[in-house]
Amino acid sequence: LKEANPRAFEHEYMGVPTGTGGEVFMDIDVRTISEEEINNLQYIYHGLDFGFAADPACFIVVAYDRKHETIYLLDEIYKRGMSNRKIAEEIMAKGYSDRYVTCDSAEPKSIADLRDLGIAAKACYKAPGCVEYRIKWMQHRKIVIDPRRTPNAHREFTRYSYAVDRNGVVLSQLVDKDNHSIDATRYAMEKYANRRGN
């Protein structure tokens, strides 16, 4: 961790204050991601967090540079009121229908609908404590975000904070709000976040 994310190391192991204490993701690099840079990224993954009325559906495209432990957020679909057919159409329109899309396993019917519509959808693996574990895994990686490519992911990742009690004390509890792109990224990265030794 000291090599991969010195700021997180100082905060977690040395007790050095590195921010307000409430930020969930502290190693975010907000910058332009060029087409040339994307062409050199090898490991591309897709994640989907279902939503409809109150919550948006969020499809996200990420790349993972294993050597430098860096996650790149490359593209998103982020809308309310989308049927499963509309989600499938938008994914295909962007040219992403040829790869697996790891989805929230809480909606098996929606996953089946997407498969029937030509999307290689699969359910993410869920187990007790997996949300916290995968968030912690992402905290120990650099996350590169281009606000032009993924404006909603940029907003969510940079604002995502731990819960705070009525006295202003930061708690270790994750808030399940405004985290749709974060959830979609967790699903996309589960291949690595579930691996023993990470």
Nearest to 87 by CA among 124, 58, 126: 58
Q: Is pLDDT above 90 for 16?
A: no
Please report the pLDDT score of residue 110 as a whole number. 97
Q: Any bridge partners for residue 79, and if so which?
A: 57
Q: Which residue has the higher pLDDT, 193 or 190?
A: 190
Rg (CA), the chain: 17
Please give the model's pTM, rounded to 2 decimal places.
Answer: 0.86
Q: 3-state class of 84 per DSSP?
A: helix
Q: How many angstroms separate the CA atoms of 101 and 113, rounded? A: 13
Q: Per-residue confidence at 198, pLDDT binned at 50, 70, 90?
A: very low
Share of the chain above pLDDT 70, in %: 90
Nearest to 86 by CA among 55, 59, 60, 62: 59
What is the tens place of the pLDDT at every residue in 158-179? 999 888 888 777 787 888 899 9
CA distances from 108 to 104, 120, 128 (A): 8, 13, 19
Q: Which residue has the higher pLDDT, 173 or 61?
A: 61
Q: Residue 191: what residue type?
A: K
CA distances from 125 to 96, 105, 132, 136 (A): 22, 7, 14, 17
